[in-house]
Chains A and B, each alone.
Chain A
């Protein structure tokens, strides 16, 4: 296997043994980690893997490998980390085409020099890539204003499980030619193919960016504030409800981020202050704001177990209550909610994760999921310890059209070599 792979990508692009250990998937170390330099090489690797029946885990920076069930088989990790070219960037068009392996931080700082950004702020570890962001469909607090990757990706290049190179979508901001395979690939978690290049829509950086803090002893008044903010049409870019989190929130806290022109932000701040009254809102200075948001990101990126409970925003109180039934919630590990979107996340650091092997975790997760499912809400485990994910389906596939999804997966991966057993079985 290793010789065959080296024959395709060259000796230095195949890592084995200890060098492969960092790419373990739920502790399982692959036989080889392959980092092609071109789409063609990636296609040759996947064609061969399909032919030989080698199980392949697809990756970018390898920061999301512990999401999904432990793989039923694992031979190769195929990473796009060396596909980092900025192929086309025309700032005046606000569009860009990049290799999927380009790290998010490098990407944002590159376009930031032109006063632009990709308007997504997913929780990420250092080294997380654009391709990984697309493959996981990740979005952060600012999804409230800017949406998720499905709202930003214009086109992409995908190497399917059996080694076909597909170009999808395009590079222009509006395009309805043919089926929107791009939307299918976003969030497909390496089950359809390796994303090798991505075309993205950019936005101008907001002229003004303010973060306001509202604190309370209990979450209830803050949830009233969330309703009031919506009814007053404050329209924040992000609205995060946090339980106490070291370095982020001393007590129960609502963070509101305001984006726009000077006039628009001043107006929104004014509405915010009035809407949350009698609670008081305090504006953070730029350094404080930066510190809070990056500390929240670090907490989130460091979570070894990350349940996500989602329902209609108007049901936030119930969703939060369900999240608090999970063992140790708020007391041993914090909760953070995209309050405007109705999504409550548990941020369980690895030191609190030992608990997760207790049977009451699996039971409470299943009960919360069932309660949410009644309202067509969802409970997803974005990542977690292998044993728990072996026990509790990370996605929760009740009520989704599994047959269609299996049919689509088999179309792109007829040999069944991509992430076998991990997401849709």
Chain B
């Protein structure tokens, strides 16, 4: 989501190149180099460009420096030094997030965790792994595979995104329908607090006192930096079977989603693509053989013991056929299943070819309200003259309306912003929420008020203050500026002072597409 008009105005104030962040004090840079080594600090403006945005390229803000520590002790030392100097920081993994969460606002220094990418242990007997935050998601599953185990949360960006980023955003993924999101898989954390103190959260036994692991997951880098992460591993399913159902009516497909859930089936994944998405896929190099005149396609996957699988797949097939599927294909062999999945997996890449820019939205509605929410999405985007495609985690009610546009056209950008806000409000109106897996970041900060009363937002501010009393960790994110203004206090620069945004035409490039390798998830 692109954020409110007011906010864009603030972020953009000063125009492109109007407010370069001040360089870091030379003595501070020297001190940081003393901790992480000469090659561990980057201050060269050209090399900092890579860090000016995350997977949501709509926002850009170049950091003052990037520091790359190599372990908990170095992270602690770095944060201590920054704290003393009064310089805020933002932790960064692979930078694939889709909410602007990794942007270095308010003169922040980026603490890159790229050099902390060791898998510290795989404890097969206890089905646990301990990793550093920079470990790429898919690498962990590969390392666990020889033990017959896997790391379940599988954001679509899993080939690029890191476990640390997944923890920060509480990332989801297609298979979270059955296996749960990152929260359900994190059992322990080593955290460096913003003042450099190191705390251990969780452990081998039961939770003692408050569940700080649960609170930390999804805190979007505002409570500190997780430097070691212990996660649960689960058995690789013995077998899996995938079903592709083609519908002539998008509402019928939505009703089938609801009926499958209501029937008591628990698919490992239940994904949906609409006509626009199917056509984009079939027109691309990734053509998966979906009928181009179809209104919607469902990809339903079941996994587990080979024994019970066929009964479940047959039941899902019956439901789809009863609700009007014109064609149902199933596959059990890996290569065949891969083909059925292909359209879903390549959808964002294919959509990216239809327009200079795409904006991947993220909202959740109750599953029974999917038909209504989808209809509202089409109606709103139609009214604003925008093309929208829907490709999403239907089984969770997690919509990803994807708006096609060209950011070089300011008038179009304005329509995208307005439509996005209306879509979000429509999802909230049917009992939903503003983000299911991408996080709030900078982008949705001002939408928090759509779902939470002031008392809750103020409590969130107060909780943040417990971890970060001086406002050093990822400033300007998650909470609306209004509710936190008081605790930001004097001396902390608010988001108003931030540099430029991609909506300023100068920074735009024609191929500035939001890549499918996006952040917490697609």
Contact = CB atoms under 8 A, between A and B. Distances in A.
A183 interface: yes
A268 to B, nearest CB: 7
A298 B56 CA distance: 54
B493 to A, nearest CB: 23
Interface in A284-338: 308-315
A268 B262 contact: no
A133 to B, nearest CB: 15
Given A150-B214, A179-B464, A404-B466, A172 B200 contact: no
A312 B208 contact: no
Interface in B363-390: 364-368
Contacts of B200: 376, 399, 401
Interface stretch (B22-30, B179-187, B243-251, B415-423): B179-187
B264 interface: yes
Contacts of A266: 307
A180 B235 contact: no
B266 A204 contact: yes
Interface in B464-520: 464-467, 478-479, 520
A377 B457 CA distance: 35
Contacts of B312: 261
A223 B457 CA distance: 49
B242 interface: no
A180 B208 contact: no
A40 interface: no
A423 B208 CA distance: 10
B126 to A, nearest CB: 5
A160 B520 CA distance: 32
Contact of A179 (B219, B367, B396): B219
A184 B210 contact: yes
B126 A172 contact: no
A249 B375 CA distance: 57
Interface string A156-195: 0000100011111011111111111101101110000000
Contacts of A407: 466
A308 B305 CA distance: 33
Interface string A69-85: 00000000000000000
Contact of A184 (B208, B214, B235): B214
A187 B259 CA distance: 34
A171 B456 contact: no
Contact of B214 (A174, A183, A411): A183
A397 interface: yes
Interface stretch (B74-82, B289-297, B403-411, B432-440): B432-440
A171 B305 contact: no
B203 interface: yes
Interface stretch (A16-24, A27-35, A86-94): A86-94
A127 interface: no
Contact of A181 (B176, B309, B459): B459
B397 interface: yes
Contacts of B214: 150, 180, 183-184, 186
B238 A233 contact: yes
A268 B466 CA distance: 47
Given A115-B264, A181-B459, A176 B438 contact: yes
Contact of B455 (A166, A233, A377): A166
Contacts of A137: 207, 211
Interface in A241-275: 260-268
B311 interface: yes
A170 B217 CA distance: 17
Contacts of B210: 184, 187-188, 405, 408
A204 B393 CA distance: 20
Contacts of B398: 174
A233 B209 contact: no
Contacts of B439: 176
Contacts of A212: none
B211 A175 contact: no
Nearest to A407: B466
B211 A312 contact: no
Given A160-B459, A177-B434, A312-B126, A395 B368 contact: no
A314 B126 contact: yes
B448 interface: yes
A308 B206 CA distance: 9
Interface residues on A, range: 35 or more
Nearest to A380: B206
Given A184-B463, A401-B212, A375 B204 contact: yes
Name, among B306, B431, B448, the residue most crowded by chain A CB atoms within 10 Å (CB to CB): B431
A183 B169 contact: no
A405 B211 CA distance: 10
Interface in B426-446: 431-440, 444
A177 B435 CA distance: 6
A151 interface: yes
B308 A264 contact: yes
B431 to A, nearest CB: 6
Contacts of B206: 308, 310, 343, 378, 380
A180 B217 contact: yes
A4 interface: no
Contact of B211 (A184, A314, A412): A184
A310 B202 CA distance: 12
A396 interface: yes
A230 interface: yes
A353 interface: no
Nearest to A372: B205
A178 B203 contact: no
Given A91-B262, A177-B433, A181-B463, A268 B207 contact: no
A179 B308 contact: no
Contacts of B176: 174
Nearest to B237: A233
A349 interface: no
B433 A268 contact: no
B261 interface: yes
Nearest to A377: B205
Contacts of A165: 453, 455
B310 to A, nearest CB: 8
B209 A405 contact: yes
Please provide the 3 A-B residue pairs with the shortest distance between their CB atoms, ordered closest to farther. A183-B214, A378-B205, A204-B264
20 contacts: A92-B367, A93-B368, A95-B366, A168-B456, A173-B396, A178-B448, A184-B210, A235-B235, A263-B308, A268-B305, A312-B128, A375-B204, A378-B206, A378-B208, A380-B208, A397-B208, A397-B209, A399-B200, A407-B466, A412-B459
Given A261-B308, A376-B205, 11 more contacts: A93-B397, A137-B211, A165-B453, A165-B455, A170-B433, A174-B393, A174-B436, A176-B170, A187-B207, A267-B308, A312-B126
Interface of A: 90-95, 115-116, 137, 147, 150-151, 160, 164-168, 170-181, 183-184, 186-188, 203-205, 207, 227, 230, 233, 235, 260-268, 308-315, 342-343, 372, 375-380, 395-397, 399-402, 404-405, 407-408, 411-412, 423-424
